[in-house]
Amino acid sequence: MIEYKNVKKVYGDGETAVTAVNDVSFKIAQGEIVVFLGPSGCGKTTLLRMTNKLESISGGTISVGGRNIREIDPVRLRRSMGYVIQQIGLFPNKTIFDNIAMVPRVLKWDRARIKERVGKLMELVKLDPELYSSRYPVELSGGQQQRIGVARALAADPDILLMDEPFGAIDPINRDKIQDEFMRLQARLKKTIAFVSHDIHEAIKMADKIAIFRGGRLVQYDTPEVILTQPKNKFVSDFVGADRALKVLNLIRARDAMNKNPKNILRADTPCPEAMKFFSEKSRTSAIVIRDDKPIGYVTPRLVKFEEGPVSDVAEPYQVFVEDDEPLRDVLSSMLMDSMTTYPVVDENGSFKGSITYQNIQKKILELYEDDTD
Amino acid sequence: MEILNFIRENFDQALFLTWEHIWIVFLSLFIAMITGIPTGIAITRNEALAKKVLNTANILMTIPSIAMFGIMLPVLAPMGWGLGKVPAVIALVLYSELPIIRNTYIAIKNVDPALVDAGRGLGLTRWRLLKEVEIPLAIPVILAGLRTAAVMNIGIGAIAAYIGAGGLGVFIQQGIARSYEAMIITGALGVSLLAIMVDSLMALLERGLTSQGLKIQGRQ
């Protein structure tokens, strides 16, 4: 756990003094990712660098695990935290192995333990130790280098990670991938992470909580959902963007918006005339066809009209299945592209969980914004 | 032909003078190295001091060698070291300081600040960071400075014969005095060959001590 209490950072003195961080107080809970977000010069990076004493503290206190860091030797403090920076900073004169082994060596671990640890970390960040251990940083791509940067930071298994725009220099496609990988890693490791970013998309994707800074002050500290749906002031709403409703769609999973007990489902062996009756009685225009708990397609009155056999014979297969953890943004995008109005939602085994329509999505968004007016 | 005869007849002396020359040059280079490299590193932490040190070394290097030996004569004479190898070595040390200090300073300064930041952030001590990262990265440039100093010292070392320091300059000095062409050319050739050989050896050393990772980086 990291706690900031009235933290202040002033550069210079007298008339030329510049306050980079001004009276900032908040807590980062154990196992959470908090993204420090804001425009450049807002003090987010300074605050991060104060956390491992790369910058001195002008006022207030920062405590880590309940201890005031003023009382901890900087070198020891830093060894208890991982540090990842945008420029990656792998040592070009050392092999990948030696880069990762840096901190364990400083801590005087024995050889066998270091070797085992480095191998494990490389597998964790999905780089084959056999293939990459003896290579040099310059032989790796930017994305691979930053994976090693993360592995190096995790080497001595610190509880805390400080990350300063770690994925900022990586091209957009690989950035998305490395972010996903990092989130999977974090789901297992549960580190306490302070993460500096100026990218609202990244913040929404990664953060348990977002701390928005402006001119050295903390403007709002909340979960991404609350930041998007209830921005505290114009600065925050401008910063998160006019399309914040669309951004919220990234945060909500299909399972949160879907209809769990849809009425318009038909078993695969339902005869077509019966389906026709179902359509006219319930005045439905389509139905999902289910066989053995799995959706196999859909039927419409036009498809079953004049048919005699089971609906499975005439069902149109779905081009896209929505997985229950898919963000609503992707679901909506599929709907727009395929001009489909209803999708079945499945879990990772392909079992039917519910259905999702445009109305479901809209209803969910409205629900969130209703809190706004309270 | 005349030269070959001269060398044949004075082979022992030629060998001895070469050895003497090497000895003076390398002793001074060694002293300059163990003082210059730490100085170069130390001044990277203090801009104001760096300026002063580099300026002083710069001025020292502009003094012509004959004048330098002349200045040293009255300074060291009270201790009985006015002539001979001692003033020669001292002068060579002073001349070597600039290329060594300057190259060390520049090389350490040029280490990517992101690497220093990453290293500190990982919890490396100042000393450890120097040893593991900054010095290995600076090695090629530091060695280039040593190489410059070594080649320069071989040349200036020839002049030290005038203050009785020995070395291959003896052939040149005495040859001039006696208008003995073969003797002059033998001395001059010896000094030149020595310089070329040392230069190549230092180049090899430079390659040997540069990290594999940096070489790959250089190729890209």
Interface ipTM:
0.82
> What pLDDT sits at residue A371?
57
Answer with the one of A218, A247, A276 that is the final residue of a domain: A247
Residue B151 contacts residue B92 (beta carbons within 8 Å)? no
Name every chain B residue with its beta carbon within 8 A of the beta carbon of A69. none
- Asked if B92 contacts B150 with a C-beta cutoff of 8 angstroms, the reply is no
What is the strand order of the sheet A265-267 is part of? A265-267, A287-291, A294-299
pLDDT digits (tens, 9 = 90+) for A308-329: 888 888 888 887 788 888 888 8
Question: Is A162 within 8 Å of B121 when comparing Cβ atoms?
Answer: yes
Check residue A257 and give its pLDDT: 87
Range of the domain at A88: 2-247
Same domain, A177 and A138: yes
Confidence of residue B139 (pLDDT cuts 50, 70, 90): very high
Q: Which of A247, A267, A282 is the last residue of a domain?
A: A247
Task: Check whether residue A145 and residue A109 sit in a common domain.
Answer: yes
Q: Which of A45, A52, A91 is the mutation pick for testing B, counting most B CBs within 10 A?
A: A91
The percent of residues above 70 in pLDDT, for chain B, comes to 100
- Chain A CA closest to residue B117: A89
Computed on alpha carbons and rounded to an integer, the radius of gyration of chain A in Å comes to 26
Domain shared by A67 and A29, yes or no: yes
Indicate the pLDDT class of residue A172, thresholds 50, 70 and 90: confident
* Rounded distance between C-alpha atoms, residue A245 and residue A362, angstroms: 10
**Is it the case that residue A374 has pLDDT exceeding 60?**
no
Same domain, A209 and A352: no
Taking residues B109-126, report their average pLDDT.
94
- Does residue A195 surpass a pLDDT of 70? yes
Indicate the burial class of A56 (C-beta count within 10 angstroms; 0-12, 13-18, 19 or more). Answer: exposed
Task: At A193, list the tokens.
Answer: 């992470």
Q: Would you tell me how many other CB atoms lie within 10 Å of the CB of residue A276? A: 18
Delimit the domains of chain B by residue range: 2-214
Where is average pLDDT lowest: A150-164, A174-188, A265-279? A265-279
Instruction: Report the run of H or E that residue A265 belongs to, with start and end.
Output: strand A265-267
Both A147 and A18 in one domain: the answer is yes
Residue A62 resides in a domain:
yes
By three-state DSSP, how is residue A319 classified? coil
Of how many residues is chain B composed? 220
Which residue of chain B has the CA closest to A82?
B122
Query: Which of B111, B115, B122 has the most A C-beta neighbours within 10 Å, making it the best mutation to test the interface with A?
Result: B122
Mean pLDDT for chain A? 90
Q: Are residues A166 and A280 in the same domain?
A: no
Q: Is A321 on the interface with B (CB under 8 A)?
A: no
| pLDDT confidence band for A47 (50 / 70 / 90) | very high
Within a domain: residue A373?
A: no
| A202 & A342 share domain | no
pLDDT bracket for residue A350 (50, 70, 90): confident
Task: For residue range A280-311, list pLDDT tens digits in order.
Answer: 888 888 888 988 888 888 888 888 888 888 88
Contact across the interface for A152 and B137, Cβ inside 8 Å: no
Q: Is A10's pLDDT higher than 90? A: yes
Of A196, A216, A247, the residue that ends a domain is: A247
Domain CATH number, residue A284 = 3.10.580.10
Does residue A52 share a domain with residue A143?
Answer: yes
Q: What are phi and psi of A98, to 5 degrees?
A: -65, -30
pLDDT band per the 50, 70, 90 thresholds, residue A370 = low
* Whether residue A242 sits in one domain with residue A285: no
Tens digits of per-residue pLDDT, A242-262?
777 777 888 888 888 898 888
Mean of the per-residue pLDDT values of chain B: 92
In a domain, A289, yes or no: yes
Q: What is the strand order of the sheet A67-68 is part of?
A: A18-28, A2-11, A59-64, A67-68
CATH number at residue A62: 3.40.50.300
Which residues neighbour A365 within 8 Å (Cβ) at sequence distance 6 or greater? Answer: A245, A248, A249
Distance of CA A312 to the CA centre of its chain: 39
Q: Which residues of A touch B107 (CB under 8 A)?
A: none
Q: What is the pLDDT of residue A14?
A: 82
A325 shares a domain with A281: yes
The confidence score (pLDDT) of residue A92 equals 94
- Minimum Cα–Cα distance from A81: chain B residue: B122
pLDDT over 50 at B146, yes or no: yes
Q: Which of B74-88, B120-134, B145-159 has the lowest mean pLDDT?
A: B74-88
**CATH 1.10.3720.10 matches B2-214:** yes
Same-domain check for residues A162 and A104: yes
* Same domain, residue pair A109 and A236: yes
Distance to chain B for A65, nearest Cα, Å? 18
CA distance A57 to A78: 15
In-domain check, residue A304 = yes
Mean pLDDT for the stretch of residues B91-103: 94
CA of A51: which chain B residue's CA is closest? B121
- Number of structural domains found in chain A: 2
Strand partners, A36: A196, A211
Instruction: Give a yes or no: residue A372 inside a domain.
Output: no
Which tops the pLDDT comparison, B66 or A46? A46
d(CA A6, CA B169): 73
pLDDT of res. A315: 87
